[in-house]
Chains A and B, each alone.
Chain A
Amino acid sequence: MKEIETFERSQIRDEIPQFAPGDTVKVTVEVSEAMGTGEKRTVRKRTQVFQGLVIRRHGSGARETFTVRKMSFGVGVERTFPVHSPTIKEITVVSEGDVRRAKLYYIRDKVGKAARVKKKKLS
């Protein structure tokens, strides 16, 4: 068991910034697209940006994940990323939110103005 813990600790990326549910983050992810099959198969890599509200952080250590929610053309889109995955190129915190719970699932049922999160006041 100790060996597993050490191994998982070695996978943790320490350059990940601190962020919490309620914050708005910009996640830059690398996606690879495979084209064709067999001999002609080529893998192209490009980066994608996903910006939205962090509604949950789940798990611990190298296995931790977080879910970002955004509205895309009027439809709510949620994406879950592993925090320590090497495909995540960058996480930038756009703004910090002031929330009173750890999981912001209630936001899914809110529309328009009600679906906002208070900005954190600098103290």
Chain B
Amino acid sequence: MGKAIIGEKLGMSQVFTEDEVVPVTVLKAGPCVVTQVKNEKKDGYRALQLGYGEMKPERVNLPMKGHLKKSNSTPRVLVEVPLEPGEEYSPGKKVTVAIFEEGDRADVTGISKGKGFAGVVKRWGFSGGPASHGSRFHRAPGAIGQCATPSRVFKGRKMPGRMGGERVTALNLLVVRVDRDKNLLMVKGSVPGPHGSIVIVRESVKGKAGKGRR
């Protein structure tokens, strides 16, 4: 398994390093349980299904109970992560924050905060018009196309609409602290989503550990 773990965004704080103050997001990550190992023969591809959190046993419905029988767990969230060749896992195995070390680079995926029906200035960064001097043009999108040719609006035109509440990944975040006793992970910078939301922390696809400034 490439390093991956499911967690929860707790909030932001700061960490003093030797000579600077680092803004961090505190994540409570794991312990996760391997609930299913997908293999080539049966599923067509190799993957690992991880579970996080606790559900009251009486709340688990029967199909789920059957699925979770092998791992003997009742997790609240299930997430699938790819499994690298040559790795063997069995259901019931635990995954903890110990897979990450300080100085690693990680990608954090979450569901961004919902912004509702947002205008074009907030959603797409349009400049808008002057606020005063009687311009009568403030936050409207302006022209959205041409005239008789093509006499339609092209697809993909940036317009107002629902913003946020989608899957977003913050790439290449530095792992500043790992607290194995409390299952805490602190990554530099911000992470998508509100406090208490579920996030997936994975090994960074861009920067490999050891590279970069620290």
Contacts and interface: CB of A to CB of B under 8 A. Distances in A.
Interface of A: 1, 3-4, 7-8, 11, 30-32, 62-63, 82, 84-87
Contacts of A1: 10-11, 195
Given A3-B184, A4-B26, A62 B14 contact: yes
B26 A11 contact: no
> 8 closest pairs, A vs B, by CB?
A32-B19, A4-B13, A4-B26, A4-B11, A86-B16, A87-B19, A85-B16, A4-B10
Interface residues of B, number: 15
A30 B18 CA distance: 10
B19 A7 contact: no
B31 to A, nearest CB: 15
B28 interface: yes
A3 B10 contact: yes
Contacts of B42: none
Contacts of A30: 19
Interface of B: 10-11, 13-16, 18-19, 21, 26, 28, 179, 182, 184, 195
A62 B18 CA distance: 15
B28 A3 contact: yes
DSSP class of A's interface residues: helix, strand, loop or mixed?
mixed
A30 B16 CA distance: 14
Nearest to A11: B16
B182 A3 contact: yes
A4 B14 CA distance: 10
Nearest to A65: B21
12 contacts: A3-B184, A7-B13, A7-B26, A8-B14, A11-B15, A11-B16, A30-B19, A62-B14, A82-B21, A86-B16, A87-B18, A87-B19
B16 to A, nearest CB: 5
Given A30-B19, A63-B14, 13 more contacts: A1-B10, A1-B11, A3-B28, A3-B182, A4-B11, A4-B13, A7-B26, A8-B14, A11-B15, A32-B19, A62-B16, A86-B16, A87-B19
Contacts of A85: 16, 21
Given A1-B11, A3-B184, A4-B10, A82 B26 contact: no
